[in-house]
Structures are given as C-alpha cells and as structure tokens.
Chain A
Amino acid sequence: MGQRIDRDLRRFRQIVRGVVKKELRKYMKSGELLGRRGRNVVSIPIRQIEIPTFRHETRKMGGVGQGDGAEGQPIGVGEGNQPGVAGNAPGQHALEVDVSFEELAAIMAEELELPNIHPRAREVIEADAGRYSTISNTGPESLRHFRRTFREALKRQIASGSYNYRQPVIIPIKEDRRYRARRTIRRPETNAVILYIMDVSGSMGDEQKDIVRNESFWINTWLKSQYKGLETRYVIHDAQAREVDEDTFFHTRESGGTRISSAYQLAAKMLAEQFAPEEWNIYIFHFSDGDNWGGGDTQQCFNLMEEFLLPSVNLFCYGQVASPYGSGAFITDLASHFDGHDNLVLSEINSKDEIYDSIRAFLGKGR
C-alpha cells in the first residue's frame, strides 16, 4: 500500500515540476512567487493540472447557510467554500502546491541549463554528518544497545540490593535502556555571501525596483541551493552609500544624484572587514540605471574594481535597468574597460521580459 501511494505522489510531483518548468519564464517575469514564500517552500498556484469538468459558475450559485445574522450581512464564505452538501470527495480546494527552494533551484538549473558552482574558498563550519558512535538514553528500539542496557540493569539491581547471585536474573526496566546514537562531527563546508548593491537615485522607479527584487529572489534561490551557509547583505547608494536591511533596500527612494564609486568603496570596506576572500565565496550584484556622475567617478570605480573587488569575488554582476529617463553609459564603459574579464558579467535589463535572460547570463558562468 505504501508503495502504491508513493508512486502516485511521485508522479504528481513530477507533473507539478513539469508545469513549473514550463511556466518559469512567466514566473520570472511577473514575480508572483515572491509573495508566496514560506520558510522553506514556495506555494505555487497551479491551475493547469486541475481536471476540468462541466460545472456551475459558483459566483452565480449561492447556497444555504446556518446561523445568526441579518439579511445583507456578509458571511465569510470564500470561493470554493460552498457548503458540503454535494459531492463525496474532499476535492474542492484551490490547487496550490508547495515546492521547496531546493526543488525550485533544481528546476531552474534544468530550464536555464545552469552549471553547478565550483566553490572557491573553504571555511570550517558545523555540519551534521553523523556516525553511530555514541550512546544515548533514548532512541528507537531498533538501535537498542543490548550489552549496555544489560550492564545498566545489573548496576541498578546491585545498587538497590535486588541482585541475587544465586539466581542472577537481570530484568531491565525502561530507565536502563541504552541506544546507539549519532555523533555530530565538524566538517569543512563552503560559505557564501551575496552583496546586493542598488542605485536608489531619483531615476530608479518602482518598476526598476521590481525587476531587482525579482532577480534577487531567483539569484538567492539558486545560490542557496549551492551553498550551505548563505548570507545576504544590502547596500543602497545615490551620491553616498550605506548598508541597510532587506526591507529598506527595496523601499528606499532618494532624490540625489549618482556616485557609484561610493558604493564600491563601501563594498570594499565590508569585504576587508567581514568577509575575507579566502574564507568566503563572494557575489556582488549591482543594479543601476547606469547614469553615473561625471567628473572621474567612473574611473574611480574602475580603480576600485581592479584593485580590490574583482580579485576578491567569485562573480561581479552588473545589471543595468532601463529607467524612464533612459539608460546610462556605465555599462558600455565597463564593457570597454574590462573586455574579456572572467568574473565580471554585464547584463542589460530593459523590461521584465528580459529578467529571464539576465538571470541566465548572471548564473550561467558556474562560478
């Protein structure tokens, strides 16, 4: 019986996976999954796998209820919550399927053909890779340690004086039982940090921020599947840069000008102080409309990148988001200055349709 349902469950998951994969481009464009994040899962509404039947238009149908209330008073009956007078199956629920982030990342990898990342740095952190090499007072009966249990029982009986050496009967009670248990050992694990930098100057509007938010969701999902410990940090800048939390990051709007070097300076400082390149896999994603202040600021950015940022990071991604005021020159400057640099990825995102390709460009390097 177990196998039977497992098979059907597996098949169901497979179908869900197929649908999500097919719809991935749409999800990336619309960003509808962002609002459906749980701790470990995303609940994805899936209408496509519902089996259609001829049915009534529920909104026109109404029904009978029971309880107090005057005519015209609203009642809390949502769609699909028609009273259960007809039908014998509990089949009338909205189709929402929980997909874990790992699974989502796997689907992404398949659809975008993402290569796995070869980690660069190593640091020792704790990981649960146990062996059954210790003893515990609790555990499943299948792991009961017979000899230890016997010994405990013997000790207890001798101590309490109920041991009779003429008739050495040992009867273990619950407290005597000992079980084999796992021991957690420490093992090197890779660690990663993502540093998001965003231009919040006046020219970056809500639509641009939506694009960034959307991209960051997919980037996080992917990198989370590749590293055990993933930290994310956020930096916003206009003419000055500061580190903020996620919420502020997406909701701040300043009116000032743009000095990109301020953000790179802060990034370099953060890396130097908190994330040593030999211990961390570092990812920098910078989003801006590319309209940098003149007066040699761009040159200053190049210097910072050359001297410090590019040698320290796995990947430096610059996404230029087109704003209503047009797209700046920063991306072309970068392209001409750093031609053929291995860990620098540039991508122009002119509309939500291009999110898909930009994510693919960013993560397709396998670094």
Chain B
Amino acid sequence: MSWIYAVERAVRNNVPKVEGILKDHPYLLDLAAKVRDGKTEVLRNLDRYVEETIKAVERSGGRAYLASTSEDAREIVSKIVGSGKTVVLGKSMVAYEAGIRKHLISTGNDVWETDLGEFLIQLADEPPSHIIAPSLHMTKERAEEVMRSVDPELKGASHERIAGVARKFLREKFVKADVGITGANAVAADTGSVVLVENEGNIRMTTILPEVHVAVTGVEKILPNLELAMYEALVQAAFGGLYPPSYVNVSSGPSSTADIEMKRVRPAHGPKEFHLVLLDNGRKEAAKDPVLWQSLLCVRCGRCHLHCPVYRVLGVNWGIPPFTGPMGAMWSAVIYGDRRPAMMCTHSGGCKEVCPMRIDIPRVLEELKARELKR
C-alpha cells in the first residue's frame, strides 16, 4: 500500500500546482504549441538536424557523437571518462536508459547521482518509478530509511532534513569531480547548445565544476534553434509543476572568455571539454513511423503519469524503467520493442488531456495494441 500513499501524496502536491501555474502564466500554452511545432519539424527531418547539431557543437569548441545503441553510448562515455575518476551525474533518464552509471562504476570510477531522487534510487538500488521524479514510489519515511545509509542518525526527519543530508554528502563529490554527466532537456541545432532546467542546483554544479562536461541525451531532444530549446525547458518545468524553475542552464561548448582584447579563448573557469552524446536506440526508426512518431514529442514533464488509473495502481510495474506510466507504455515500445505495456491501457484519457504536446497517447497505444495482436 505504500505505493498508493506515495503517489496520492504526489498527486495532491503536484496536480493543483500545475493547474495554478498554467492559470497564472497562460503564455505557457503558446510556448508549448511552438515547441510542438519545432519538435515536429525536427522529427520530420531528423538526420539533417542531427548533422546540423553535431557541426554546431564542434563550432562551439565541443565534440558531438551519434550513438546508435546504448552499448555505443557506454563505449563513447567510457573513452571520455577513463578510469579512476570521480564522476557526478546531474540526472539523465537517457543515461539511465543507456546504463551509464553502472557501467562507469564497473570500469573503476567513483560515480554519484546528484539529483535527490536519483541519489535515493542509487542508494536503494531501485529503478526509477517516474520519468522526472524517479523516487516517486518512496514515501518520506522510506526516503529517510534509505538516507540512513549516509546519516545513521536520521529519525522522524522532515523533508528538508532528508534533503540536507544529500546536500552535505554530495558537496564533496561536486568539488572533487573530474567529470560531470548530465542529460539535456533540449538541444539547439543552430548553436549546439544544451539547455537544462532544474531546481536543485545540482545540474549547474555538475556542468560547471568538473573539467569535463558530458551531456547524454536522445536525438528527439533536438529543437531547430536556441529560442525553441529555451521554451522547451520552461514548458517542461511548468507542466512538471515547478515554475518558475530555480535555474535554467545553457551550455554551449566548453567554458570560454573574451576578456583579453575581446579574443575568445577556451577554457575559462568552467569545463575544459564539452561532449554531447546523441543517442538513437530506436528513436530514428520511431520518427519515421506514421503513428509512433508522436511519442517522440514527449518533453518528459511526467504529468500523464499522475492522471492514469493504470499507473496509479501498478506504478513502476507498468512499463520498462525509466519508461513507466502512459508515456512509458509508448516508449517501452520505441526503445525496447516491447508493446505489452500498451495492452494495459484502459483509454481513461486523462493523459491526452494533460499532455503539453497534445500527444494522443490512447491512440498511439491503440496502434501498439493492434500491432502486438497481429504478431
């Protein structure tokens, strides 16, 4: 029953907040429509935009790679990181999808998730139960129990106290880190910039303090330009229930300065190296599919999860983590070719009503059901 308590508490915290945000900032609906158009344009011309993005990253002094599979992504990241390093991860579901953390640990690195939710599931060795709130399945009491592995004194602690333990523990990791690995909420094809939205501050520290910044993300995160990439970050934050977001980070290549004779040189105080790993892993194939392409519009706000009866009762047991919930039923098919989660859809319809990208999730899942039944 603890899952139900946890998710109900999350619903009561989050659902009215999102409704309030959209009411107080109605321009967000326009931004969402623009982001949808931009993402659609990219998905219709994905190869061209991947190439454009890679070139733009290189122009900004970084390096970019297209990884066909999770294994390719692990190999690329491994070559960049090496061994014996301290690595901080700034929350990336794509990095989870690609198995980056466990792989880097297995190759002799000290690797730490720094997002609180990700940190909790790392400590508990559990899969993420929600696309942006990976420890949604944990009640406060369970989170405290998990955090006791870091601070055995915790007992009857508040949410703030539990978060404070993570802050203290991870501070040292940030300062020592050789490599920071993040995801990307959006990637701008015209400038090669990676846009990241957050509230904790861990992403900002992950992208700035280490000498090497690696961003691992899916090809569907590409937007045609930096304007739309910024909008995506705001839309994701708002529909995820946190607006304004505490921080929006734009990383365009390694750090640089032009303070001497206005000549731009790299690095300055931030990373000396910037690497962008764009992961395919089934996304390019899905982009060509007349029905499934819609699933790639997902901006990972996680709102659909909270309006779904199947997710409400099954939680992490529906879909293949990190892809759970209604979006997960689509993405389990995109990435893993597994259409069985789609069979569970009851067409309750709340998902399509709340989706900022207006993905007709029930219709996509109906198509997946039909394909599964034809198999």
**Is the pairing of A and B real?**
no
